[in-house]
Amino acid sequence: MNIPLDQAWLEAVMLAGVRMVAFLVIAPPFSHNAIPLQIKGILGVGLALAVSPVVTHGYKSQDLGGFVLSLILEIVAGAALGFLVYLVFAAVQSAGSLIDLFGGFQMAQAFDPQGMINGAQFTRLFQMTALVLLFASDGYQLVLGGLTRTFTALPLGGGLDLTVPAHTMVSAVTGMFLASIQIAGPLLVVLFLADVGLGLLTRVAPALNAFQLGFPLKIMLTLALGGIAFTALPRVVASLAEQAGALLTGVR
């Protein structure tokens, strides 16, 4: 019994799957270590089969050397696209890190082997909440939709113009810091004013030892106002998911 195989179709699907898997390993929410590599691989192959009508159209079979080179280019392209998405969602983690730093929780810093992050309570709380919101609000579908549309902008084996992603990454890093300041900014201002007030109180009445009393005060302020910043995370994550999708489709 002869089973005909379309070599060009197999090569195109394999190249698309390599880009998908490289993206899923780096980009949130799929990069979390709670998702096994086997699941990421299966998901990448499934997505590659889903986009096969697009990626196989007009694709021609290559020799071994050209195919290996195309594999390397697809790995680089998928990793670069995943890193762009990572930079976008790192704003939430950075906001939590700023709150930990100004609120004094940074002294309880520890390593989270699942999220692969170093941070205290608010860092890990914001990062885990962002991941949960991405799945609960179907924000991950925007990310995957942007990834599938990259095959139109970046054909298989065509490589990636590194000048455009480099410029986009610089803009993404700037946007990450700006977004983290916008999320945690009000709380940081309050904590800074609390430090200034305690300093002035120490100058007026040194015997009170205001800085020793300041630790519970700053903890109370951080917990109270951090809850307000926490309630804003759903809107922030929705906006970041849209921004991630726009970044993926804007890379040429």
Cβ atoms of 167 and 250 within 8 Å: the answer is: no
Average pLDDT (48-52) is: 86
Tell me: the pLDDT tens digits for 86-123? Answer: 888 888 888 888 887 777 777 666 666 666 666 667 87
Cα gap 101→88, rounded to integer Å: 21
- Cα distances from 121 to residues 3, 98, 108, 117, in angstroms, run 57, 11, 8, 12
Q: Give the pLDDT confidence score for residue 118 in this predicted structure.
A: 65
Q: What's the confidence (pLDDT) of residue 163?
A: 62
Report helix, strand or coil for 31.
coil
Residue 110 dihedral angles phi and psi, to the nearest 5°: -145, 170
pTM, to two decimals: 0.77
Report the range of poorest mean pLDDT among 50-64, 68-82, 104-118, 187-201.
104-118
The Cα 142–Cα 241 span in angstroms is: 6
Residue 71, SS3?
helix
Mean pLDDT of the chain: 78
User: According to the model, what pLDDT value does residue 173 have?
Assistant: 73
